[in-house]
Amino acid sequence: MSGELRAEGVTVVAGRRTLLDDVSLHAAPGQVVGLVGPNGAGKSTLLRTFYRVLRPTRGRVLVDGDDVRRLPGRTLARRLAAVPQDSPGEFELTARDVVAMGRTPHKRAFAGDGAADRAIVAEALADLGVAGLADAPFDRLSGGERQRVLIARALAQRTGALVLDEPTNHLDPRHRLDVLRLVRRRGATALVALHDLNLAAAFCDRVHVLRGGRTVAAGPPGDVLTPDLIADVYGVGADVARRADGTLRVDLLPGPKETR
């Protein structure tokens, strides 16, 4: 599967509150697309429509051209892996057990792990730097360690598409970079919610900016992450410059935003 992701006019209404309002998005195969915006912008809401925690009130969400609501659960899990922002504790499971859950969509019911499955799980644990924690109880790991185990589980699914809701949350600077480098290296299409604008600028092919459930801007980071947009969306001043390697550097200003 190619891993193409698409949202078409997605609106989500909960009670009297509109969480998303006519949001459209396209992630071409192999692209990393970042979702940025302030708290409550609708980033997590949009991601949850992809892995079917939320049903759009209007519009539809597609994986490889198929509406996710019409796909059998196992079929969707073979195409799309997700790391939600808030994951429940997997009690009485080791880190290895949790990562091995990523192989479930590829096996028959009640089938055990084969040699290929065990190799994939071991590789995912090693890639996320948690191989030494394989036998540790998952619920006793630190927040950052649990986060890396959950990302390893998603990678063990070996899907063409990934949906990651703040995957760098709880991680130290080194592991933030390691995780996003790994996502790029794997070559899967990735839709990633990020708060760190520098990470979005460095690792995303395109950035989609949300505010109040609506699209504010979308395009390559260099076109979107401008001082004017950051001031408008976040209410803070920023300097934006290009590093020697061509990536953007976003420096938020500690004082009140400047009018330019």
Cα–Cα distances (Å) from 186 to 56, 69, 129, 162, 182, in that order, read 30, 26, 16, 10, 6
E strands within 15-53? 17-27, 32-36
Report pLDDT for 90. 62
Domain ranges of the chain: 5-225, 228-260
Strand order in the sheet with 5-14: 17-27, 5-14, 58-63, 66-67
Report pLDDT for 260. 47
What Rg do the C-alpha atoms of the chain give, in angstroms?
Answer: 19
> What is the reported pTM?
0.93
Report pLDDT for 89. 64
From first to last of its 260 residues, the chain has per-residue pLDDT tens of 589 999 999 999 999 999 999 999 999 999 999 999 999 999 999 999 999 999 999 999 999 999 999 999 999 999 999 999 877 666 689 999 999 999 999 987 766 778 999 999 999 999 999 999 999 999 999 999 999 999 999 999 999 999 999 999 889 999 999 999 999 999 999 999 999 999 999 999 999 999 999 999 999 999 999 999 999 999 999 999 998 888 899 999 986 555 44
CATH class, domain 5-225, is alpha beta
Report pLDDT for 247. 83
Contact 92, 144 (CB under 8 A): no
Contact 170, 147 (CB under 8 A): yes
Q: For residue 86, give both structure tokens.
A: 């808030």
